Structure 1
Amino acid sequence: MHYDAETRSLPHNPFKALVAPRPIGWISALDRDGRLNLSPYSFFNGVADNPEMVMFSSFGRKDALSFAEDGGEFVCSFASLELKEAMNKTSAPLPRGESEFTFAGLTPAPSRKVRPPRVAEAPAAIECKWLKTIPLVPLEGGEARYFMAIGQVVSIYIDDRFVTPDGRVDTGAMQPLMRGGYFDYFSVDGQTRFEMRRPAGGGGDAPRR
């Protein structure tokens, strides 16, 4: 079959079920006045590794986006299976000024190089300096509905329990929580894992210059 937005030959849009599972960016940000927001974003990913950069995309100009722009910084905490209920609670539309950390029973922990705190219960966190926001204007023009924020990574926190003796991060042991389509979520348990090396010149973990 063929599906597009005009034919709507399925009762539910399959897009998010196909571009899945997606990592969840659990974004904390402070505005210039020190107001704090914590929100989960499933349109999140790494976009570069030299230097490291991440993006998250917001439907509308929500507090996480506007605070990241205003304060110039944000943190992405690692959403794990163990924290699924707390992560979900932080998506509630609380009044500005009401703490998502308190509402979800979470603890803010100081970051190393940015002002916004990380989630203390999370096994890892990525501290970022905000670089730019790109309005995602559709082909037909008009007003953008989504806004993509890009940040450069300046520090990374990892719980020591998930660093192996040879200096690698055991991602599977952290049981990352990821978003699928509809109301689906997925977790990675690390039970199936293998390595493949790219052909010469094909990229990968080449030494940095």
Structure 2
Amino acid sequence: MQFDFTRLPPADRYRLLTNFIGPRPIALVTTRSPGGHANAAPMSFFNVFSHAPPLVIIGVSARPNGSEKDTIANIRRTREFCVNMVDMALSEQMILCGVNFADDVDELDFAGLPADLCDQINADRIATTPCAMECRIERIIDYPGRAIVIGEVVEMHVRDDCLDGHGRYVDPGVYQPIARLHADNYITSDRQFELRKPAHLAPHEVGTTPLPAGSV
């Protein structure tokens, strides 16, 4: 079957894209409301974008009635947000945070999620998340009914048990994030395996040796 995306209705494009592009990591994004409450919302249009500078990207859609969600309204006002990664222990609370409450509802409190203050931004982070990333806005790209937010990570909080004994790499036996597939279907990374490029092909790779100084 073939689908012409230039003619396809938005709902059908969404269905196809989210059915086949997955699993998608989940960012449980926390922001500060105008009244000082903690807003939390799960975002499955999310990923890391760059490490130099350290950038993450989230896509925030409008509500069904076209109004702007609290998360993007708070981000526009404060220019900052926190990404909390989600594992199985946080999955049920994450779903509760997906309800479109009024902005005076503290969603972390409603979901029973313990909160700590972020260090460099005015937002709460989830105390039990495997990893929280404090972000400041690099830019916001607006489309009709959607905003793409690029944030620069200014601080990362990692739960101690998620790292190996040297504190360098993730322990895959502990950090098993969940991701969204399609509709209400999710997946967990409890079955991990390694794939390495064949070592004998290394001499054939181009662009791996730094260019001499002044050559660019």
Q: Same fold (TM over 0.5)?
A: yes
Give 1:114 deviation, angstroms: 1.3
Q: For structure 2, list consecutive stretches of 5 or more residues without a partner in the other structure.
A: 63-67, 210-216
Over residues 79-138 of structure 1, what are the superposed CA-to-partner deviations in whole Å (9 max), with x where a residue is unaligned? 1122110000000111221111111110111212112111112111111011221013xx
Contact 2:40 2:97 (C-alpha < 8 Å) held by counterparts: yes
Residue 14 of structure 1: SS of its match in structure 2? Answer: helix
Please list every run of 5 or more consecutive structure 1 residues that lacks an aligned counterpart in the other structure.
137-143, 204-209
Tell me how far 1:202 sits from its aligned partner: 5.8
| Equivalent residue, structure 1, for 2:214 | none
What does residue 175 of structure 1 align with?
A: 176
Match of 2:65 in 1: none
Query: What CA distance in whole angstroms lies between the structure 2 residues aligned with 1:190 and 1:13?
Result: 26
1:65 equivalenced with 2:72 (yes/no) = yes
TM-score (norm 2): 0.81
Partner Cα distance (1:119, 1:200) in 2: 43
Contact 1:29 1:68 (C-alpha < 8 Å) held by counterparts: yes
Q: CA deviation at 1:4?
A: 3.9
Aligned 8 A contact 1:22 1:42 in 2? yes
Residue in 2 that maps onto 1:139: none
Tell me whether 1:122 sits opposite 2:123 in the alignment: no
- Report the equivalent of 1:185: 186
CA deviations 1:169-204 (Å, max 9, x no partner) are 22563111101112211110153233448834269x
Any idea what SS the aligned residue of 1:66 has? helix
- 5 Å matches for 1:51-200? 51-60=53-62, 61-136=68-143, 144-166=144-166, 167-171=168-172, 173-196=174-197, 199-200=205-206
Paired residues of 2:33 and 2:103 also in contact (CA < 8 A): no
Q: CA deviation at 1:46?
A: 1.0
Maintained 8 Å contact 1:31/1:68: no
Q: Structure 1 190/125 Cα, relative in aligned 2: closer, same or farther at 3 Å?
A: farther
Identity %: 25
- CA distance in 2: counterparts of 1:112 and 1:127, whole angstroms: 8
What amino acid does structure 2 have at the position aligned with 1:191?
Q
- Residue 35 of structure 1 deviates from its aligned partner by 3.3
Structure 2 distance, partners of 1:134, 1:68, is 13
**What is the distance in 2 between the residues matched to 1:72 and 1:38?**
16
Task: Mark the CA change 1:7 to 1:171 in structure 2 (over 3 Å): closer, same or farther.
Answer: same
Instruction: Say if 1:173 and 1:190, in contact at 8 Å, map to a contact too.
Output: no
Cα distance, 1:36 vs. partner?
2.4
**Higher Cα Rg, which structure:** 2
Contact 1:172 1:188 in 2 (8 A): no
Specify whether residues 171 and 111 from structure 1 end up closer, same or farther in structure 2 by C-alpha distance, changes over 3 A only: farther
TM-aligned CA distance change 1:170 to 1:15, over 3 Å: same
